[in-house]
Amino acid sequence: QGVAAGGGFGLVLAAHLAVCDEPARFLCTWHSDGVANDGATSYTLTRIVGFRRANELMLTNRTLDAEEALEWGVVNRLYRGADFDKQVAVIASDLARGPTHLQAMAKARFHEGWMQSIEECTEHEIQNIVDSLAYPYYQERMARYKTRQGRNDSVIVRMP
């Protein structure tokens, strides 16, 4: 909600999931402030919005409105009005109930995947699969599957 500028914009870019409301704005202010960019934006900005768009934002101090931030991939969802707080609460609750160890594995692999070859990524994914079998969550899932109860949709994160 509000304006994410400079380091605040860097925090948005570093988030695994980002949502905003309609009046939100996003901008790079470093050059207008007379300093170089920080907050790992030289890493995240180009990967999220692409090389040319990153340069446009950084070099021109262009402001993205909420709709553009959604289109450019800066945020995952845009919620309007009173829906914002409700939807954020739903997402947070769903994430907290989910298989957090698997969420952590996925997030780590995604970050490493930006810097590794496909072979290295695949090797790490295989190791994650092996590691995930040791968690009680896997045993519960398999028990449900074997008794034909299907998957438990309560662990799925809803992002309407």
pLDDT in tens, 34-90: 778 888 888 889 889 999 999 999 999 899 999 999 999 999 999 988 889 999 999
CB of 60 closer than 8 Å to CB of 29: no
pLDDT recorded at residue 159: 60
**Closest by Cα among 36, 38, 24 to 74:** 24
Q: What is the pTM of this model?
A: 0.76
- Looking at 3.90.79.10, 3.40.50.150, 3.30.1490.100, 3.90.226.10, the CATH number of the domain 3-93 comes to 3.90.226.10
What confidence tier does 152 reach under pLDDT thresholds 50, 70, 90? low
Sequence ranges of the domains in the chain: 3-93, 98-155
What confidence tier does 160 reach under pLDDT thresholds 50, 70, 90? low
Q: Considering the domain 98-155 in this protein, what is its CATH number? A: 1.10.12.10
